[in-house]
């Protein structure tokens, strides 16, 4: 085959390849764009349905709460109305007629007013006067409100229940002028209609009405339909397949959205998460029970990308035929104009690539006066320069490799030295913590520090002032590294130096602040919490210096933050004064102290742990020992941060739990027996 024929084949082949590549790229790009758009719309629709399904669970409770408030208000108004009418000496019949008028004018559907013995002598309903009592004859509803006679409680609201063919909800209050029960009731049958319209079914109808999806379902974890699977067009003939139902069960138990092809359409399955602590959802709401997993499923038509690709391929085929003909003609013309020196130049190129280029092999071609002569001369000069540069680069590469090896060794030594220094600083920080906390039958102490990766300056301490009083300290310094460690030493030394009997926490913080402002060589500050604890009376006098995370934990799990009394952080303003407050710890109540490392630790979305999560974690530890309570908080912080979050420095906890002494337990037992 001649050079001209090869050149023609090459050019026409390249033209054909370019046309095919462009056509395939356009078809693939179009298909990818349409597929991406459909998948994006499916994800948006499924996510909207999932979020709507999760949010609509709160609507029944909000409606029920509003109705309960209204019924209590109407019961209170009715109580005052009856009291005023009886004070005006109106007859029971006149009062009863007025109650009926109020009910007919849009007031409560039912109104019942009893005397001091529980007999409902005023009501707007026909029939005998029922008695609100504790016995079974009075009926469950009447018995439930019987305690209002002795004002224990003063008001109450019942859950909706069927009564005489109606869904009724009742509220009652105690009498305002005498012992009596005032009860009102309302027909809440429309509540179910409101819930259905505002629930998941309504959201699905909205998606279908906007033509955003072809079909939509809300399924539970077992694949059963919770909200009706509404469809449009011919999609009614294509229900969910068994594979799609199985995928829905998997997604309901997971946390990620899934996209799949099913029955000629694109399915998007998004998990719906209902809060486990949410109350039960009213019947007919179209949502899963609180806390149970569910999945939102939407289907979009998926035939548009294939049709568009077929159209692109047809157009590309026609263009390929036209371009191929034009390319063949142009290649033929171009090949006829070529000359033999191309082969000689090609051999020279191969020799240059192999590193054995001889410039004399191009002498004959370089002596020509045409374009190939100029090209040969340029190539010979470039090849010689490239060979020289390659030799220079090889030499420089050897030198750079030696320099890099030397610098790597120095860097490794520096990193090893830094790690040793940080390890030594962390050991010093750990050794400064109290080796043994006070132990006794009246109190229980536990402290722990989980150090951060870098050196910081958080610490805790318990100082026995005398045989009755103890000083509890928790502090954290700003910044990190060696300066923070030295600043921690200064803060700790200043606080321990002032730990003497008779000095209040506010005075200790004030002296430590002045010492830090006057002597610290570092531009930093420290937050601190100091408290003097009386083991006999349980009195805790405390003050905070820009510190958060000090809590009093009650026996019932209530959490009271104790950082409102105090002043600025230590080292911020010289001469600052600090306020103090006092609380009394009862038996089994605890004092929990921590530093900012716990409160500022964040999850993958940069959401800090914060005081609300701290209070929730402390509320879980009812009746726990001081050690167990601290471990519950630390596990909660680590679970919140997870693998993608950030632990913000040292995690420091100091927990004190008050115990009743042996003689106190005996006295309490005798008092309980009496």
pLDDT score of 572 more than 70: yes
CA dihedral 485, 489, 495, 497 (to 10 degrees): 180
**CA angle at residue 24 from 18 to 28, to 5 degrees?**
145
pLDDT score, position 341: 66
Give the model's pLDDT for residue 194: 66
- In tens, the pLDDT along 277-324 reads 444 444 344 444 444 578 888 887 777 777 777 787 788 788 778 877
390-417 residue pLDDT tens: 778 888 888 888 888 888 888 888 777 7
Q: DSSP assignment, residue 513?
A: H
Dihedral sign computed on CA atoms, order 64, 69, 72, 78: negative
Q: What is the mean pLDDT of residues 441-460?
A: 80
pLDDT digits (tens, 9 = 90+) for 576-587: 889 999 999 998
CATH of the structural domain 437-667, one choice from 3.40.640.10, 3.60.40.10, 3.30.360.10, 3.30.1360.200: 3.60.40.10
pTM score, two decimals? Answer: 0.42
Max CA pair span of the chain: 136
- Asked if residue 611 has pLDDT above 60, the reply is yes
CA angle centred on 302, ends 301 and 305, rounded to 5°: 135
Residue ranges of domains in the chain: 61-192, 340-431, 437-667
The predicted structure's pLDDT at residue 542: 93
Give the tens place of pLDDT for each residue, 128-186: 888 887 664 556 777 788 888 888 888 899 888 888 888 888 999 998 888 999 999 98
DSSP alpha helices (H): ranges in 185-303? 189-198, 200-209, 242-253
pLDDT digits (tens, 9 = 90+) for 515-550: 888 776 667 788 899 999 998 899 999 999 988 889
Asked whether 472 and 444 are in contact (CB, 8 A), the reply is: no
Right CATH number for 61-192 from 1.10.3720.10, 3.40.50.2300, 3.30.450.20, 3.40.50.2020?
3.30.450.20
Does residue 290 sit in helix, strand or coil?
coil
Report the 3 state secondary structure along 655-669.
Answer: EEEECCCHHHHHHHH
Residue 612 Cα to chain centre, angstroms: 13
Dist CA 613 CA 551 (whole Å): 13
pLDDT at 111 over 80: yes
Do residues 38 and 304 lie in contact, with contact meaning Cβ atoms separated by under 8 Å? yes
Q: Which of 622, 655, 654, 652 is nearest to 637 (CA)?
A: 652
According to the model, what pLDDT value does residue 543 have?
93
User: How high is the pLDDT of residue 276?
Assistant: 53
Tell whether the model's pLDDT for residue 127 goes beyond 50.
yes
The whole-number pLDDT of residue 492 equals: 84
Are 531 and 656 spatial neighbours (Cβ–Cβ below 8 Å)?
no
Per-residue confidence (pLDDT) for residue 544, from 0 to 100: 93
pLDDT at residue 623 in the model:
75
Going by pLDDT thresholds of 50, 70 and 90, the confidence category of residue 674 is: very low
């Amino acid at each position: 085959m001649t050079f001209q024929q090869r050149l023609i084949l090459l050019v026409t082949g390249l033209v054909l390849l370019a046309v095919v590549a462009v056509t395939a790229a356009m078809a693939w790009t179009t298909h990818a764009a349409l597929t991406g758009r459909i998948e994006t719309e499916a994800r948006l629709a499924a996510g909207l349905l999932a979020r709507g399904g999760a949010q609509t669970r709160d609507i029944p409770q909000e409606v029920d709460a509003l109705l309960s408030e209204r019924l209590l208000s109407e019961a209170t108004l009715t109580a005052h109305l009856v009291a005023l009418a009886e004070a005006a000496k109106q007859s029971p019949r006149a009062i009863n007629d007025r109650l009926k008028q109020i009910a007919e004018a849009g007031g409560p559907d039912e109104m019942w007013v009893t005397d001091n013995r529980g007999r409902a002598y005023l009501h707007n309903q026909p029939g005998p006067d029922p008695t609100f009592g504790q016995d079974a004859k009075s009926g469950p509803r009447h018995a439930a409100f019987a305690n209002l006679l002795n004002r224990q409680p003063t008001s109450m609201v019942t859950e909706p229940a069927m009564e005489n063919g109606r869904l009724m909800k009742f509220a009652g209050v105690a009498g305002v002028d005498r012992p009596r029960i005032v009860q009102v009731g309302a027909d809440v049958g429309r509540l179910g209609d409101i819930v259905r319209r505002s629930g998941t079914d309504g959201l699905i109808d909205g998606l279908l009405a906007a033509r955003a999806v072809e079909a939509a379902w809300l399924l539970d974890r077992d694949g059963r339909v919770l909200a009706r699977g509404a469809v449009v067009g011919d999609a009614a003939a294509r229900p969910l397949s068994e594979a799609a139902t199985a995928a829905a069960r998997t997604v309901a138990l997971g946390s990620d959205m899934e996209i799949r092809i099913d029955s000629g359409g694109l399915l998007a399955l998004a998990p719906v998460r209902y809060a486990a602590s949410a109350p039960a959802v009213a019947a007919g709401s179209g949502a899963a029970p609180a806390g149970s997993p569910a999945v939102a499923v939407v289907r979009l038509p998926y035939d548009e990308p294939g049709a568009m690709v077929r159209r692109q391929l047809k157009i590309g085929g026609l263009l390929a035929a036209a371009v191929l003909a034009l390319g063949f003609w142009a290649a033929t013309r171009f090949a006829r104009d070529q000359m033999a020196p191309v082969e000689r130049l090609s051999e020279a190129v191969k020799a240059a690539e192999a590193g054995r280029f001889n410039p004399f092999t191009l002498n004959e071609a370089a002596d020509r006066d045409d374009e190939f002569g100029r090209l040969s001369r340029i190539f010979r000069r470039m090849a010689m320069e490239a060979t020289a540069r390659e030799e220079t680069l090889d030499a420089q590469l050897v030198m750079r490799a030696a320099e890099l090896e030397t610098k790597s060794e120095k860097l490794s030594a520096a990193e090893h030295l830094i790690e040793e220094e940080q390890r030594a600083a962390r050991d010093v920080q750990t050794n400064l913590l109290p080796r043994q906390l006070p132990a006794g039958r009246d109190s229980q102490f536990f402290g722990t520090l989980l150090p951060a990766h870098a050196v910081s300056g958080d610490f805790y301490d318990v100082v026995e002032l005398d045989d009755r009083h103890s000083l509890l300290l928790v502090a954290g310094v700003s910044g990190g590294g060696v300066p923070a460690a030295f600043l921690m030493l200064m803060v700790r030394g200043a606080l321990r130096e002032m730990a003497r009997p008779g000095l209040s926490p506010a005075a200790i913080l004030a002296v430590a602040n002045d010492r830090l402002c006057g002597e610290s060589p570092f531009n930093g500050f420290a937050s601190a919490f100091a408290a003097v604890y009386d083991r006999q009376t349980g009195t805790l006098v405390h003050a905070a210096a820009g510190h958060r995370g000090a809590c009093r934990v009650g026996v019932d799990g209530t959490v009271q933050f104790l950082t409102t009394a105090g002043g600025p952080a230590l080292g911020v303003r010289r001469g600052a004064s600090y306020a103090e407050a006092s609380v009394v710890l009862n038996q089994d109540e605890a004092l929990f102290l921590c530093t900012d490392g716990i409160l500022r630790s964040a999850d993958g979305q940069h959401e800090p742990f914060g005081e609300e999560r701290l209070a929730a974690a402390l509320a879980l530890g009812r009746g726990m020992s001081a050690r167990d309570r601290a471990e519950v908080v630390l596990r909660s912080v680590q679970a919140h941060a997870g693998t993608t979050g950030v632990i913000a420095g040292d995690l420091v906890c100091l927990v004190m739990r008050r115990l009743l002494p042996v003689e106190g337990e005996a006295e309490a037992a005798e008092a309980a027996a009496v």
